[in-house]
Amino acid sequence: MITQFKLAFKDIRKNKWKILLFIFQMAIFLFFTIIILEQFVQMSYHSKTLKIVKNNNIIFFKDYINQWERPFIDKEIYYFFENLFDRSGNAYSVMENAGTTEFSQEHPDAKIVIGVGNFDKIFGIDKYKDTEKPSYVFIGSDVKSIKIGDEIKLGIFNRQTYKVDGRLEKGEGYINKGRYRSLDDKVLVLTSSREVATLYQTGGFLELIQNIHITKSEEDEIDKIVEMANKTKKVTLIPEKLDLKSIIEKDYNEDFMNFIFFSSFLINMGIFIIVGLVSFLYVMIERNFTEYVVHQIYGATKKDLYLRITIFVVLVVILPLAIFLAIPNMLLLPSTKWVWWFVFTFYFITILFVSILSVGRLNKKDLTAFLRRDN
């Protein structure tokens, strides 16, 4: 085995420029493969978002923050939004900046998201509830630093401890401002707006107002929401006139066209690379034929020759992938595990296919016939 590795490395050194060109082509192919697979993930998110929007007719608001005014929240404003989130049943909001520096240091793989109103019903999170209680805490499928039953602390001014109730399945998410947000790497807290105000006071309550989404809209209610938000002197809300369904459909169509374009390019490039590699190996086998005969005279079997070629193929094909894996902070590394499984499967099939063709080519050659006097 060691001898075959040495001989395979020898073949690489003899053909280093052609190998470098192939590695460059394979690296580009891997680059576009990761892009297109991640694009497919985004398409699935848009598809899921579109279904949720169609079923609930979600309307959201553009928000503008007045940096120069101190926030003003009197009883009328507070009770209006408390009633909207906690009692009306036709609105939800999220607080995405709920984590503290301490929490981020302890759990770098997780961010806290707080959902109020009918958040759980809109996005199907209510199926994870087994009893009725004021607050629930669920961890995303990719969060490993927190387990079910662990306790986490929330709040800035009034710290409270909450126990983790369960783990969400892969692919759960929500919509904020027309964008689908994954919950796979989040800690989701379902609670009331009153609890958010207790934990984070004015800052938390203002963020809930910024992220209002309503699901059963009437003009009078929309006008009242805008009026109350403007009275805070901090937040100005303007109803989004564009249909959320149209926004998501546009994003989905753009992603779909990109997916088709890159997929066509990727398939053609993959065929070109594989055909080029097979052709190169055929030429190399012809050129190394004399060397193969000499090795066989000195005791090498056909199995040894097959192993040498297979090791050569594995080294050449795996090297671009190894370069990507050696850069853990690279932005192009996919966030979903199945993308890597797809890439590994493709590489395995490529190695197997090219090795079989190359070994078959060598097998057709009669090495002993080369020893005739006229050769």
pLDDT tens track for 15-57: 777 777 777 777 777 777 777 777 777 677 667 766 777 677 7
245 confidence band (pLDDT: 50, 70, 90): low
Percent of the chain residues topping a pLDDT of 90 = 21
Q: What pLDDT does residue 167 have?
A: 93
Q: What pLDDT does residue 331 have?
A: 44
Joined tokens for residue 256: 């779909």
Q: Which residues contact 222 (CB under 8 A, 6 or more apart)?
A: 59, 214, 239
Q: What pLDDT does residue 304 have?
A: 74
Q: Which residues contact 220 (CB under 8 A, 6 or more apart)?
A: none
Amino acid at 78: Y
pLDDT tens track for 163-222: 999 999 887 888 888 778 888 889 999 999 999 999 988 888 999 999 999 887 777 888
Q: What is the CA radius of gyration of the chain?
A: 30
Q: Name the residue with higher pLDDT: 215 or 138.
A: 138
Mean pLDDT of 328-342: 58
**Looking at the predicted structure, is the pLDDT value of residue 77 above 90?**
yes
Q: What pLDDT does residue 285 have?
A: 74
**Looking at the predicted structure, is the pLDDT value of residue 251 above 60?**
yes
C-alpha dihedral over 354, 356, 361, 364, to 10 degrees? 180
Domain boundaries along the sequence of the chain: 1-55+242-374, 69-232
Joined tokens for residue 347: 């590489």
Q: What pLDDT does residue 22 have?
A: 78
* CA neighbours closer than 13 Å in the CB half-sphere of residue 316: 33
Q: What is the pTM of this model?
A: 0.65
